[in-house]
Amino acid sequence: MKDYSIAFFDTKSFDRISFDRVNKKHGFHIKYYKHNLNPETANLRIGYDAVCLFVNDVVNAEIIDMMVETNVKIIALRSAGYNGVDFKSAYGKIHVVRVPEYSPYAVAEHCIALMMTLNRKTHRAYYRTRDNNFNINGLLGFDMRLKTAGVIGAGKIGKILIKILKGFNMNVLAYDLYPDKEFEKEQGIEYVSLERLYKESDIISLNCPLNDDTYHMINKDSIAEMKDGVMIINTGRGHLIDTSALIDGLKSEKISSAGLDVYEEESAYFFEDHSDQIVSDDVLARLLTFNNVLITSHQGFFTKEAISNIAEVTLENLSRFFSGDKLENEICYKCSSTKCRKEETGRCF
């Protein structure tokens, strides 16, 4: 097979270590760039057969045309999320593959870490004891047992999360467009409407994809339907939540706490060190003032197992493409319609 070359954007040290290890069996020529892909950095892709992107890289019509002009043949997303890609502009011009799953356990377990930390205030206790303050006032939590958790999105991550929550002996309500009745019976949970989930849940976890139907699904109106003192956890996508409405809910104490591994405008901050700068995003700055808000920088996926799986699947996707094999992980905007040819030919177009 030809010595194909790949330009990696938005790379970190852990990417290089993981991909270099896996690439020993593929033999691709890889060039790592620390920059995000954007119109200013897009010229770096010249001379490469493929580009590999991460979750916060944006691929619009302009960048797609630039890639096509220089014979970039495929975009390999090393993430499950793909909302940054303009698929309509890409269709018929350039193939797009992704990593549909890398460790659903990693994300589900991070959901639990956020829940437990917020509930028992361990983040606050840590800083107190570091200052020799052993006062426990303000650190009161609640028993998870018999509380009701609402899981929005019961795919692979959601199902693992549900199993963990059942281990706490919690009542679980789930919302999913495609309810799994066998799983419902097996786990002793209940698939319900969003309205009921909002009304009855003590904790709500967002584990669904971002699309037109889920954009700002947590908003002023949905928050008003929720139980007083609800905890909200988001490890899905930042735009699932209208952050201004979340702040209003926190200020009014309708929302008791929030755990966010994602944020609407995270691409300007997440994955980078800005400790010597002032946060110019007023909304993010406001969130950081709440001691009942826990923000992590999109690290829910970040385990040894997940990083290894991402490298394995990403390079296998590319190897299959250049070998002319079926692309199981290709995606296009027609994938849910009969016009997508992947089932017939092995590729979307």
The single-letter DSSP state of residue 42 is G
Task: Let me know if 298 is a catalytic residue.
Answer: yes
Task: Pinpoint the alpha helices (H) of the chain.
Answer: 13-23, 61-69, 87-90, 104-120, 122-130, 156-167, 181-187, 194-200, 220-225, 243-251, 282-287, 304-323, 342-345
Catalytic residue among 45, 98, 298, 347: 298
Task: Let me know if 35 is a catalytic residue.
Answer: no
Catalytic residue among 95, 237, 239, 320: 237
The span from the CA of 326 to the CA of 149, in Å, is: 40
Tell me the CA distances in angstroms from 87 to 221, 292, 336, one per residue in order.
31, 38, 13
Could you tell me if 205 and 175 are in contact, meaning their C-beta atoms sit under 8 angstroms apart? no
The single-letter DSSP state of residue 270 is T
Could you tell me if 236 and 209 are in contact, meaning their C-beta atoms sit under 8 angstroms apart? yes
Structure tokens at 33: 């760039």
The span from the CA of 345 to the CA of 23, in Å, is: 27
Catalytic residue among 264, 266, 316, 330: 266
Closest to 348 (Cα-Cα) out of 329, 324, 331, 323? 331
Could you tell me if 73 and 273 are in contact, meaning their C-beta atoms sit under 8 angstroms apart? no
Beta-carbon contacts of residue 288 (< 8 Å; ≥ 6 apart): 279, 295
Task: Let me know if 237 is a catalytic residue.
Answer: yes
**Residues annotated as catalytic (active site), given as ranges:** 237, 266, 298
